[in-house]
Amino acid sequence: MSATLELRAGGASLGLLPDLGGSIAFWRNAAGMEFLRPVSDPHLVAQHGRAVAGYPLVPFSNRIAGDHFRFEGVDYHLAPSFAGEDCAIHGNGWQRRWRIALLSDSSATLALDHTPAGAHAGQWPFSYRAQLRYDLHEAGLSIGILLENTDTRDQPVGMGFHPYFPRHSGLKLGFVASSVWTNGPDHLPLLRIPAEGEWSFARMRDAGDAAIDNCYAGWSGSAFLRWPREGYALTMEGSPDLSHLVLFTPPAQPYIGLEPVSNMNDGFNRTTIADSGVRVLAPGQVMEGHIRMTVARC
């Protein structure tokens, strides 16, 4: 079992799993409130059944249809990483061991160097270097992601973070986005529609039991969660490059996913969409994303 690295700030504690995709094991305060919910997802086979509360998405977010995309006239095929579907999902950072680059009582910087060779050849066809920084505060958590193209070729990239939030205590949710992608039966984007009516969370409302697994575009960069019976609220803010937000509310499960990400689902196969969020990095170029979560009594 992967060893847990623990950070502390005042009464808050954060557990990290560098050997298991740089994931978060837990985040709680002195009163025992768990702001993230550890989840064991059997579809994510590389997590080996270990429950994680959040993990980085590099060098892309969500699905790439059919494990295939075409870039600059070349067809690339990826190894499937999501059991039960013919797709690669969430990049390969969550499948890999990260090394500890910097460490203090309340902060950790993890690093990963990927080269498409050996057992990792099918995960991603370009070389990159990633850094993941966690800064714990007594009343919050900051996450920074850096991705550098270390290849000799241009490469398309995306990024994000996948936290699981507890669904108990009448969880209420609010955020503003301009549109949302509906899904086809293959869980891939089908139609882009205004984020209105049942799709709107512009006014905070109960997370409910509806099965949502959709990508919102034109996200304002702020989202709000409230657990009224526990008396806590959380504000999540994303940097401008993280302009999409994936909402995942599986029915009858004690958690939701609310993921700030740069690229739309399957954006690598939808290059004609101007705001797909897929970036092309030249050799040596860098992309960064930052997420800040602040908690308070309510």
Confidence grade of residue 126 (pLDDT, cut at 50, 70, 90): very high
Q: How far apart are the first and last CA of the chain?
A: 37
Q: How far is CA 214 from the centre of its chain?
A: 13
| Extents of the domains making up the chain | 5-297
The pTM for the full model equals 0.97
| Segments of 10-89 assigned E as strands | 12-17, 23-28, 54-57, 63-65, 68-71, 74-77, 87-89
Average pLDDT over residues 133-159: 98
Q: Shortest CA distance to 168 belongs to which of 211, 232, 215? A: 232
**Residue 154, pLDDT score:** 98
Distances 246 to 3, 181, 187, 253 between C-alpha atoms, Å: 29, 10, 13, 17
Q: Which CATH number fits domain 5-297: 3.40.50.970, 2.70.98.10, 3.30.70.100, 3.40.50.2300?
A: 2.70.98.10
Q: Is a pLDDT exceeding 90 seen at residue 229?
A: yes
Mean pLDDT of the chain: 96
Q: What is the pLDDT of residue 96?
A: 97
Q: Residue 77 — pLDDT band, cuts 50, 70, 90?
A: very high
At 191 the pLDDT is: 97
Residue pLDDT, tens place only, 160-218: 999 999 998 889 999 999 999 999 999 999 999 999 999 999 999 998 777 899 999 99
pLDDT score at 87: 86
Average pLDDT, integer, range 48-77 = 96
Percent of the residues in the chain that have a pLDDT greater than 70, as a whole number: 100
| Burial category of 275 from C-beta neighbours within 10 Å (exposed 0-12, middle 13-18, buried 19 and up) | middle
pLDDT at 279: 98
In the predicted structure, residue 224 carries a pLDDT above the cut 90: yes
- Residue 134 predicted with pLDDT over 90: yes
